[in-house]
Amino acid sequence: MSSLSGKVQTVLGPVDADLLGCTMTHEHLAVNASFCDFPAPPGAEPEPENPFQMQHMHWLRQNPYSCRENLQLQQETGAVRDELLAYRKAGGGSIVENTTTGIDRDLPTLKQLAKDTGVHIIAGAGFYIDCTHSDATRKMSVEKLTDVIVSEVLHGADGTDIRCGVIGEIGTSWPITDSETKVLRATAHAQAQLGCPVIIHPGRSPAAPAEILRILQEAGGDISKTVMSHLDR
């Protein structure tokens, strides 16, 4: 990683850190979050036939996780491109894209968006929360998980040569599951090899962040380069 010292690895290749400009550090430009789809609460209005029409936006805002299409961003590339162009025009320079394995990271789309808009996009390596882990992921050892994360940064991810520039967001539930614990330990091992930042999605418990940091630190992670997201939930 010495060749990347002082640089940031984007989906289009390394850039000098001082060229990043204004940076949004936790975004999803292409993601499938349908795993968290659940029915609207009792007494709520039924889902409209087309909730994306203006007259139904109140329903969608009140029940964002009860509409599967609302949780699938992969088909909105044109709208995302427009938003990135507006971001660029307003002075934005970079986006850290936090979609990882389990929620349909789409590196070719990220690369094309970066080319089309001039926004630096940094992709995330690693794995999301337990309920998105495949059987193959659950069966991996800490050593194998480490190898996967390191390879996603050094060589490319998802069968491409597009390389990730951060690790995360690494997802955890609460209580933290065995599979998530292995991923956290692998994350720490990979970070120790690579020296890159880590971004964490903690479970919904006040105790989660401290427990995650304990696991990372005991496995050799660098807490000074670790971001704990969603603390204001």
- Enter the tokens of residue 30: 């292409």
CA dist., res. 221 & res. 154, Å (int)? 18
Sign of torsion, CA 50 51 52 55?
positive
**Contact yes or no for 189/142 (Cβ under 8 A):** yes
- The C-alpha R_g of the chain, in whole angstroms, comes to 18
CA dist., res. 96 & res. 81, Å (int)? 15
Look up tokens 């479970």; give the residue: 203
**Contact yes or no for 113/80 (Cβ under 8 A):** yes
pLDDT at 5: 77
| Predicted TM-score (pTM) above 0.85 | yes
**Contact yes or no for 7/17 (Cβ under 8 A):** yes
pLDDT in tens, the chain (233 residues): 446 778 999 999 999 999 999 999 999 999 999 998 989 889 889 899 889 999 999 999 999 999 999 999 988 899 999 999 999 999 999 999 999 999 999 999 999 999 999 999 999 999 999 999 999 999 999 999 999 999 999 999 999 999 999 999 999 999 999 999 999 999 999 999 999 999 999 999 999 999 999 999 999 999 999 999 999 87
CA dist., res. 168 & res. 164, Å (int)? 10
Q: Which helix (H) or strand (E) holds 150?
A: helix 142-154
Q: Which residues contact 153 (CB under 8 A, 6 or more apart)?
A: 9, 125, 163, 164, 165, 167, 190, 194, 196
Burial class of residue 29 (count of CB atoms within 10 Å of its CB; 0-12, 13-18, 19+) = buried
Pick from 87, 91, 85, 79: nearest CA to 115: 85
CA dist., res. 140 & res. 148, Å (int)? 10
14 residue type, one letter: P
Q: Which helix (H) or strand (E) holds 94?
A: strand 92-97
Query: What one-character-per-residue DSSP string does 183-220 give?
Result: HHHHHHHHHHHH---EEEE--SSTTHHHHHHHHHHHTT
pLDDT at 225: 97
